[in-house]
Amino acid sequence: MTYDPLSHRPWGATRMTPVTGDGRPSYARIELNPDTQVARYFDAAGRLIQAGKHGTNKPQTVSQPTGGSKDGEDPSNPDDVNVTQYVPD
């Protein structure tokens, strides 16, 4: 009998579908404004992106290079993933 890797995938994982877009952020860099404690977003040319014109606050999954998760507290999770998990409720 030959080994079939497909038979070792949880059924639910096989239902995964790519989200629209490439999931990459629309900004090149973020920094915290020390005075306001609000984030400032910059594009690849170093220009400030207007508030509300970057990213999304809709429920969907977005991967990002820098962390951020719904539950930085989960004690059962090794937490060494560096993928943002935007609440896909």
Give the binding site for other proteins (CB under 8 A).
Answer: 7-20, 22-23, 25, 30-32, 34, 36-39, 51-52, 54-64, 66-75, 77-89
Closest by alpha carbon to 64, among 89, 80, 86?
Answer: 86
Q: Minimal distance in Å, beta carbon 3 to other proteins?
A: 15
Residues 6+ apart with CB under 8 A from 14: 6
Closest by alpha carbon to 83, among 23, 10, 8, 30?
Answer: 23
Instruction: Closer to other proteins by CB, 48 or 77: give it.
Output: 77
Q: Minimal distance in Å, beta carbon 2 to other proteins?
A: 17
